[in-house]
Structure 1
Amino acid sequence: MTAPVQMDPDSVRRANLREFLIARRARITPEEVGLAPGGRRRTPGLRREEVAVLAGVGTSWYQWLEQGRDITVSSQVLDAIGRVLKLDEPELRHLYALAGLNPPPVGRICPDHASGPVNQALLRLVDTWLPNPGMIVDRYWNMVVANRAAELALHTTDGSWNCLHQYFLDEIYRESLENWAELAPHVVATYRSEMTACPGDESFRQVVEGLLPQSPEFAELWARQGVAHSGVNIKSLSSRVGPLHFESVTLSVPDRADLRIVLHNPRAGSDTRAKMERLLAEDERRNGLRLVAG
């Protein structure tokens, strides 16, 4: 029996890179990237030289890349090619791997365009998290969706707040969060870390520069240059039904790099879940009375 031929891993990787780039180039029309349709093309999609020009690289260099030659590749160039070929996050990570570079962490790739409405499955996830607080924020920590438990316990409202601004400017939230001062440095360091992952993104800068003159405490913490991952935050909040103790976890959405799901779970051994159920029941009764009175 003949032994199987062992393929050189780098040769296999470069061959796969060639096939991937050709396939992705073929699916992009000239009109999609702002080019004139031109005459009849022998193959569908963009030409190699068009990808090179749009990505800001040399035509010969891009041809060598697509041919699978052993050349030096940078993350900046791969990002530029990814934008031209309109790669989503999994595809861009795949391109990095085929080019021999370590892919960026999941959820840290920053597309240039909005990714559209929130998937209904994500909305249902937040709703079914009741009676616990759940919400969805965008990459700049702007509130996108908050369930009723989050509105009652965390004083959030859909679309009305940037969470970083709320943390430092909302006096009601600040007074209710018993460990506000303990968490503040970590909150600021986490935002800097996410901002650093998207260099040149003007919207991050606008959030920071809008807050700096309004909050000396934020300005002092921002100047420390701290960085941190979100991790698990322990929150203790006061409410009209008594203290609430949560573990807050931030989750990335694999196919939506622009979104984060923030879920609050009652701390083990606490009666927080029962208090949240009571808080929601009282809110429902009040709303019912308002409807009857109206």
Structure 2
Amino acid sequence: MTSDRSALSRDRRRVELREFLRSRRARVSPADVGMPDGGRRRTPGLRREEVAVLAGVGVSWYTWLEQGRDIKVSEEVLDAIARVLLLDPTEHVHLYLLAGLNPPQFASAPSVPAPPQVRRLLDAWSPRPGYIRDRHWNFTDINEAARIVFGYGDSDHNCLVSFFTNVRYRVLQRHWADTAPDVVAGFRADAARYPEDPEFDRIAEELARSSPEFAELWDCHDVAEHTSAVKAVDHPEAGTLVFDATLLPLPELPGHHLILHNPRPGTDTQERLEELMGTHSLVVPHPG
């Protein structure tokens, strides 16, 4: 069973590596790397042989790498390829993970409710919105304020799935379309940390069947890391609410994160939230 899982892990990484390299190569033009345009091209981006020359590797070797063949790679070569393909730091790490070179191994915890002390923290944060998600982005704990402000219901079990399929959530989010690519890129980056875990593929495949928007973004193979964000909500009762969202890892539950939302300074969100929560019998503590 272990050997089967290892083989599945290698095969999955090779497929991901192939598609990732192709997608990154397609977005880099010759001009981006100081090369003459060379006229009209049938496909966008650099050719394989151009990447190989610029990275200082053989054309056949780079072709084999992009085809996902079982070949040996070095850190130096991956660094050169990352430089040619103009990868940002998160994409650079992603390339290492897919190539199987010194990938950070994150021990994971099963999806379980938060321990009492974390639950108390989440309760104390209420009525400001907050929730906890596991490594698959399943909700494990969510406070009532998050349900009221963001429109989560009893059927919402996974943060990613709700983002694309919860109609009420989508309507409330002022910048949904602009945020969607970063959300998908964050999920793909998390999936790369656990190459032996098929649950990420299952979630993505099922969601792609029900959401063409997700399917299109998933095929882009973008990756991103986010520890903070600004979330704007057009709430039917409270009007515009703007929050600073902070993602905090839970060391006692590897793979789990606590996501807390705080009214953004310089807006009237605090006052609007205070009024909204008052109508739902929740009292908002004033800062300080």
Q: TM-score range by the shorter chain?
A: 0.5 to 0.7
Counterpart position of 1:195: 191
Which residue of the partner structure matches residue 109 of structure 1? 106
SS in 2 for 1:174: helix
Q: 1:117 to 1:283 in 2, by over 3 A?
A: closer
TM-score, normalised by the number of residues in structure 1: 0.58
Partner of 1:215: 211
Deviations 1:67-111 (A, max 9, x none): xxxxxxxxxxxxxxxxxxxxxxxxxxxxxxxxxx9893xxx6143
TM-score, normalised relative to structure 2: 0.59
C-alpha contact 1:142 1:163 (8 A) present in aligned 2: yes
After superposition, the Cα gap between the structure-2 partners of 1:116 and 1:136, relative to the gap in structure 1 and judged at 3 Å, is closer
Picking from 114, 125, 134, the partner of 1:118 is 114
Say whether the 8 Å CA contact 1:236–1:245 is kept in structure 2. yes
Q: Distance in 1 between matches of 2:195 and 2:169?
A: 30
Contact 1:142 1:159 survives alignment (8 Å)? no
Q: What is the alpha-carbon root mean square deviation over aligned residues?
A: 2.2
The 1:192/1:228 distance shift into structure 2, 3 A limit, reads same
| Percent pairwise identity | 37
Equivalences for residues 229-244 of structure 1 within 5 A: 229-239=225-235, 240-244=237-241
Aligned to 1:169: 165
1:185 aligns with 2:190: no
Aligned residues: 182
- Asked whether the 8 Å contact 2:238–2:276 carries over to 1, the reply is yes
Please say which structure displays the higher CA radius of gyration: 1
CA distance in 1, matches of 2:110, 2:155: 16
Distance in 2 (alpha carbons) for counterparts of 1:242 and 1:117:
32
Deviation at 1:142, TM superposition (A): 0.7
Aligned residue in 1 for 2:129: 133
Aligned-partner residue type, residue 235 of structure 1: K
Quickly say closer, same or farther: Cα 1:256–1:159, change in 2 above 3 A: farther
| 1:222 partner letter | W
State the Cα deviation string for residues 150-174 of structure 1 (Å, max 9, x = none): 0101122468421101111111110
- Determine if the alignment matches structure 1 residue 275 to structure 2 residue 272: yes
Q: Which runs of 5 or more residues in structure 2 are unaligned?
A: 1-5, 7-100, 283-288
Distance (Å, rounded) in 1 between the aligned partners of 2:280 and 2:111: 34
**Residue aligned with 2:246, SS:** strand
Contact 1:110 1:198 in 2 (8 A): no
Secondary structure class of the residue paired with 1:161: coil
Change (3 A) 1:102 1:224: closer
Q: What are the superposed Cα offsets for residues 42-81 of structure 1, whole Å, 9 maximum, x if unpaired?
A: xxxxxxxxxxxxxx9xxxxxxxxxxxxxxxxxxxxxxxxx
- 1:279 is matched by which residue type in structure 2? L
Confirm or deny: 8 A CA contact 2:229 2:244 kept in the other structure.
yes
Match of 1:204 among 177, 200, 205: 200
Instruction: State the 1:271 CA deviation.
Output: 1.4
Whole-angstrom distance in 2 between the partners of 1:121 and 1:155: 26
Give how far 1:231 is off. Answer: 2.6
* Aligned mates of 1:282, 1:116 — CA distance in 2: 32
Residue 284 (structure 1) shift: 2.2
State the Cα distance separating 1:117 from its structure 2 match: 4.1
- Matching residue's letter, 1:280: M
Residue-by-residue CA offset, 1:3-37 (whole Å, 9 max, x unaligned): xxxxxxxxxxxxxxxxxxxxxxxxxxxxxxxxxxx
Segments of 4+ moved more than 6 angstroms: none
2:179 aligned counterpart, secondary structure = helix
Q: In 1, distance between residues paired with 2:112 and 2:151?
A: 26
Tell me the residue number matched to 2:245. Answer: 248
For the residues of structure 1 that align with 2:111 and 2:201, how far apart are their CA atoms? 20
Gap change, CA 1:171 and 1:160, over 3 Å in 2:
closer
Q: Which residue of 1 aligns with 2:254?
A: 257
The question of whether the paired residues in 2 share the 8 Å contact of 1:146 and 1:156 is answered with: no
